Amino acid sequence: MSLLRVDGLEAGYGLLKAVRAVSFECAQGEVLALVGANGAGKTTLLRCIAGVHAASAGRVVFDGADIGSLRAPRRVGLGIAMVPEGRRLFTAMSVEDNLRVAALRARKGPWNLESVLEAFPQLKPKLKAAAGTLSGGQQQATAIARALMTNPRLLLLDEISLGLSPIAVDQVYESLRGLIDAGTTVVLVEQDLTRALAVATQVICMLEGRVALQGRREELQRQAIMDAYFGLGREARGAA
């Protein structure tokens, strides 16, 4: 059974339809990369799964249960954690307090302050520093670490490489690789196709709110994804 199933999801802002008829399944341990140009609807889709934006139609099924009517905090309690674009840390609070606050809503599981710091060793010397004083890469690490403190079964990551130096991106992805290898299920919104394809087991390319291309990573050629990204050759599918 899939850990996450999205069926015919629709969402928008007033008259604007940002997500149209999106369906997919994500099994335990999978890494689903959501790619697509600016405004394609990736963030809105992620927010609907997290429960911070209301879908106008369709279903979000998590571990076999329809969670469409549950608000975001209940979804965190079920094991869905989101790292939003721009990180949204409590910048005046210390890194440690940012992490401990998240633990207040934690499920039982392997993640605690100690194990999170093992996964993100770069945060160890920064624990007492105000989060706002950290570098972009350290702040991103803190945001992912904060999500882990809730002991998620599903991690939703929105543009974790945005605005970071290449070295910081390398470091964040290195930590992410550790989480993936440990079996964490991830839905990742990423503008950097190379980064996304390096970690994905499944890829969905969105265009103007719709799924333009969808498939297992190994079945998709980069060129077909690029074409779908830019709305070229919409019929192109798969490696053929």
Contacts to ligand ATP by CB under 6 A: 13, 16, 18, 36, 38-44
Give whole-number Cα distances, 130 to 16, 42, 86, 125, 237, in Å: 39, 31, 17, 12, 47
Nearer to ligand ATP, 46 or 123 (CB): 46
Phi first, then psi, for residue 99 (nearest 5°) are -75, -40
Question: Could you give the CA distance from residue 64 to residue 1 in angstroms, rounded to a whole number?
Answer: 8
Token look-up 């550790």 returns 178
Nearer to ligand ATP, 27 or 37 (CB): 37
Residue 210 burial by Cβ neighbours in a 10 Å radius (0-12, 13-18, 19+): middle
Question: Could you give the CA distance from residue 229 to residue 240 in angstroms, rounded to a whole number?
Answer: 18
Nearer to ligand ATP, 44 or 161 (CB): 44
Nearer to ligand ATP, 17 or 100 (CB): 17
Nearer to ligand ATP, 14 or 166 (CB): 14
Smallest separation (angstroms) from ligand ATP to the CB of 38: 4
Smallest separation (angstroms) from ligand ATP to the CB of 152: 21
Which is nearest to 1 in space by CA: 153, 127, 148? 153
Smallest separation (angstroms) from ligand ATP to the CB of 101: 25
Smallest separation (angstroms) from ligand ATP to the CB of 48: 10
Smallest separation (angstroms) from ligand ATP to the CB of 41: 4
Instruction: Provide the 3-class DSSP secondary structure of residue 201.
Output: coil
